[in-house]
Amino acid sequence: VRICILHIGTTNPNQKSKHAPSPDRFRNLLSPLLPEAQWFTVNCINGKVPEQPDQFDSYLITGGEYSVYDEYDWQHELFDFIRSV
C-alpha cells in the first residue's frame, strides 16, 4: 500500500524540540497498524502535488495554520488535485 501524506503545514519553531513534524507523527502512529505500507510525503505549500491521482493508493492531508478561505497560489493546485482524486 502506497500512502502519500499531503503536508500543508510547517512546524512552529518554538515547538520543534517538543514535536516531530506532522507527517512523522502520522507515520509513527499508523505504521504499526499498516506494516506493509510505503510512506511518501509531498510538501504542498511549496506548490507540489503528486503527478497523477492514481500514483498512490491512499492520501492523508495534514492540518496547518492555513484556511480554505485564504488565497495562496499553492491552494489552487492542491484543491484541483483533491477534486481529481
What pLDDT does 31 receive?
Answer: 97
Pairwise pLDDT comparison (68 vs 12), residue with the higher score? 68
**Which run of H or of E encompasses 74?**
helix 73-84
| Number of domains the chain contains | 1
Whether 42 contacts 85, CB under 8 Å = no
Tell me whether residue 78 is exposed, middle or buried, using C-beta atoms within 10 angstroms of its C-beta: 0 to 12, 13 to 18, 19 or more: buried
Taking the model in full, what pTM does it have?
0.86
Q: Distance between CA atoms of 19 and 7, rounded to whole angstroms?
A: 15
What pLDDT does 34 receive?
Answer: 97
What pLDDT does 19 receive?
Answer: 74
Whether 27 contacts 19, CB under 8 Å = no
Whether 39 contacts 22, CB under 8 Å = no
Q: Which domain holds residue 76?
A: 2-84
